Structure 1
Amino acid sequence: MTAQDYDNQLLESVSVRRRRLRDALLFGAQRQRRSLDERVGKVFAGVVIAAVVCAGCVGWSFVSHRVIGKSPYGASVTAPSGQSSSTTPSPSATSSR
């Protein structure tokens, strides 16, 4: 065992001991309950992040639909002025080639 390995082992054990003391001070006898609470918090944070991403996608779709005025799926969309526009080319435009 080299001196560096011993130093790393010592630093790791000191770190573990400090973490255990901190947890004992903060959570007392309910240290085991803390891990469940952390998992619930992480799941809740994941759900919140997913909801924000979904809302961002819906918002981007809405804004791009309003700005461009056309549907990305090729369906007709009613323009704000009341006129209908189509995103698919007409058969006469494709047959002129």
Structure 2
Amino acid sequence: MYTYDDQLLDAVKVRRKRLAQALLHRSERLRRTWTDGLGTMLGSIFFAVLACAVCVGVSFVMNLIANDTTFKRQPTQGTSITAPATPPTSPASTPPSADEDKQ
């Protein structure tokens, strides 16, 4: 049977063992915590670099498309509209010709 004295002795032994481990390996505990945080930090940096690379890539492709003339809409030769050689004039602004004076 597990008596009260045995429970007390086991509890004291466990407590002394934990205190000795904490005293001996204090820096190891801090190092383990730091390396756990390091993994999270490196993962965050990786995703930040990936997001920046995607943004730069999209911007580069959009700039290429905006500056490239092959993607701009150009009229075909059969349906192109050309401007007349002489601009049309209104009848009020033209001087009367010689034929109109004879009539």
Q: TM-score, normalised by structure 1?
A: 0.43
Structure number having the greater helix percentage: 1
Give the number of the structure with larger relative contact order, counting CA–CA contacts within 8 Å between residues 6 or more apart: 1
Which structure's residues are more often strand, by fraction? 1
Compute the TM-score of the two structures, normalised by the length of structure 2. Answer: 0.40
